[in-house]
């Protein structure tokens, strides 16, 4: 087993370990996976790329 790290590297590890315990960002009730899937499907099915703003999630959030 390796000895515990000291100095800047261990501080870096503590910072990232604390970050893992934070709650995920609020998404306004939108499932990011579903939204991305729908967006990529729409683009693959011919939705114009220059109108991708119409597929953004904030358009549907009320």
pTM for the structure as a whole: 0.52
Residues 6+ apart with CB under 8 A from 5: 13
The position carrying tokens 């604390």 is 18
C-alpha to C-alpha distances, 48 to 2, 29, 51, nearest whole angstrom: 55, 26, 5
> What per-residue confidence (pLDDT) applies to 59?
65
pLDDT tens by residue, 2-53: 666 666 655 666 666 655 555 566 667 788 889 899 999 999 999 999 999 8
List CB contacts of 28: < 8 A, sequence separation 6 or more: 57, 58, 61
Residue 3 lies inside a defined structural domain of this protein: no
Domain extent at residue 54:
8-59
Residue 2 lies in a domain: no
pLDDT at residue 14 in the model: 63
Is residue 28 within 8 A of residue 57, CB to CB? The reply is yes
Residue 45 within any structural domain of the chain = yes
Can you give the pLDDT at residue 58? 76
Residue 1 lies in a domain: no
In total, how many domains does the chain have? 1
């Amino acid at each position: 087993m390796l000895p515990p790290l000291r100095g800047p590297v261990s501080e870096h590890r503590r910072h990232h370990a604390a970050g893992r315990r934070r709650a995920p960002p609020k998404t306004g009730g939108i499932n990011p996976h579903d939204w991305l899937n729908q967006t990529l499907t729409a683009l693959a099915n011919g939705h114009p790329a220059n109108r991708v703003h119409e597929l953004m999630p904030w358009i549907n959030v009320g």
